[in-house]
Structure 1
């Protein structure tokens, strides 16, 4: 009969020590909190060229978020095709909070203007917050004979299809607001799309196009410099930034109104805690007096809202602009 041998006390202690060595890291790892977002630079896709209103807003917000969150928010300009390529890029990016897009009014217009979008605004994005809102301003080359909206309508009626208006691209608010104007006024103007506001304004100042409906943020500096003249603002009431510039409604086209906005979107499926962190930081950034002053000086209002409210706002915008597209008969050139 074989004797049963029990391990020595020394071997038992060694085995127990080894077991603790394997167990301890697992316990520590399970108890360690997840790293706080963000732990690396964040890409902020701007679907327009540098120098335009969306780019101006994005760069200020990116700098403030970088300062507040301890990681760089890097601007990545992806202009063209009504802001669609930039939006599609972000829609297809990992839903981890490290690739975001600055959306505009155009992204609420595009579903009813483009037949085959490579993304769905409702399904492929998680709303973070609105950033800004504000009116557009009708600016014209100083050589254009019209000095106000009534004279612009009369000029357009006398030269059907001869007046060229620039826009920052097909489907942008700068395009559709002009189409709505033309439809309500009963005039025909020729649309010249550009890849952003900056080149469109350059050609309007140079006389290649006669006028443009643009954001006050990018257009008013040129008005103040005397390179463009402002005919009217597109809001229901006058802007405090340019109180001497009348509204379209009061100066020849009753009932007309168009507003532009910017907002931040993440890919659908982005963790709720990441969206919450971004929203909380944006709320502080957009409430900062220097940020509000910089936006308001150019005709924009800082406009934070919750993710849920921003989602509802965008849905309403999609419905509103679908009606404008139908009424105006606007088409992608």
Structure 2
């Protein structure tokens, strides 16, 4: 004889909760199946025409082809990228507003502690689109050909030599400051408003050295000598140039990168669908060729692996910025 079924208040509540979770999961899954249903915006927090903008338009074109849905690039420059970053961080978490950011997104929080958003809490990384080494370069006319010769010359001539950067707080400034600290140098920092004036002075010999990303340096390599590269391994375009790590220096391992982010509240199935499609696109032969043609290495690593890169790079840059006392005036 069967015992009568007894339902307690707690078990009934638990059953309802379980049903609710199932319904929510099903709704999210259906949402991902239907996604995208409207225009997707890729926000580029820098002006049109630069490398970030170019990569954003490559991704937009391919996503539109794959999904048959309009994908637009919207440039929102200003304040070291923080205007565009903030806009996406505070956008509705529906998967229709995407950010194409650069490494600065994990550097700026240590430089501007009163940001209106928290990179680690308000944004979720989806896919690394491309990465690039930075090079320590000197003019072709400089009397040095190796990093050791460079360091010996600077030490033998106190307060005589300088290094240029794209501006205060940029990767090139952080890397130059790191070399100053580790090699115990006194290179004077000369900040420029972007790459163009820096390259002009470097080519003209008015500037002694600079950290320049590979994509920017590539068209000008005939006028300069690369002494060392950042990153965990040598750049295949310059296989003869050693890494800083090979030469005994640390914390130069982070690469410069370009990556896609969404607001943290976007449901996981939708974020995953976008990330998976972006990573598929980044393995297409024509996309690889286009990115390599810009002097960069194509991305496409698993999302979890890139999220780890974001966390680790943020910690490294925060420490360097603090120890070098770099501040945005």
1:289 positional shift:
2.0
Residue 16 (structure 1) aligns with: none
Task: Mark the structure with the bigger radius of gyration.
Answer: 1
Stretches of 4+ aligned residues off by more than 6 angstroms:
none
Contact 1:49 1:196 in 2 (8 A): no
Residue 261 (structure 1) aligns with: 257
Cα distance in 2 for partners of 1:262, 1:221 equals 20
**Structure 1 pair 240/308, CA: closer, same or farther in 2 (3 Å)?**
closer
What secondary structure sits across from 2:119 in the alignment? coil
1:166 positional shift:
1.8
**Structure 1 pair 191/200, CA: closer, same or farther in 2 (3 Å)?**
same
Pairing 1:126-275 to 2, within 5 Å after superposition: 126-157=124-155, 158-160=157-159, 162-167=161-166, 169-194=167-192, 196-198=194-196, 200-205=198-203, 209-223=207-221, 226-250=222-246, 254-255=249-250, 257-258=252-253, 259-275=255-271
Residue 98 (structure 2) aligns with: 100
TM-score of the two chains, using structure 2 as the length reference = 0.77
1:62 to 60, 70, 82: 60
Write out per-residue CA displacement over residues 50-78 of structure 1, whole angstroms, 9 at most, x where no aligned residue. Answer: 45443343333233223222234333333
- 1:276 maps onto 2:275 in alignment: no
Query: What runs of 5+ residues in structure 2 fail to find an aligned partner?
Result: 1-26
Query: What runs of 5+ residues in structure 1 fail to find an aligned partner?
Result: 1-29
**Structure 1 pair 148/62, CA: closer, same or farther in 2 (3 Å)?**
farther
1:266 positional shift:
1.0
1:331 positional shift:
2.6
- 1:112 maps onto 2:107 in alignment: no
Residue 12 (structure 2) aligns with: none
RMSD: 3.0
Residue 327 (structure 1) aligns with: 323
Cα distance in 2 for partners of 1:59, 1:83 equals 18
- 1:86 maps onto 2:81 in alignment: no
Deviates more, 1:111-120 or 1:145-154: 145-154
TM-score of the two chains, using structure 1 as the length reference = 0.76
Alignment coverage as a number of residue pairs? 298
1:296 positional shift:
4.0
Contact 1:181 1:256 in 2 (8 A): no
Cα distance in 2 for partners of 1:104, 1:132 equals 10
Cα distance in 2 for partners of 1:290, 1:170 equals 36
1:76 to 64, 74, 97: 74
Cα distance in 1 for partners of 2:243, 2:305 equals 28
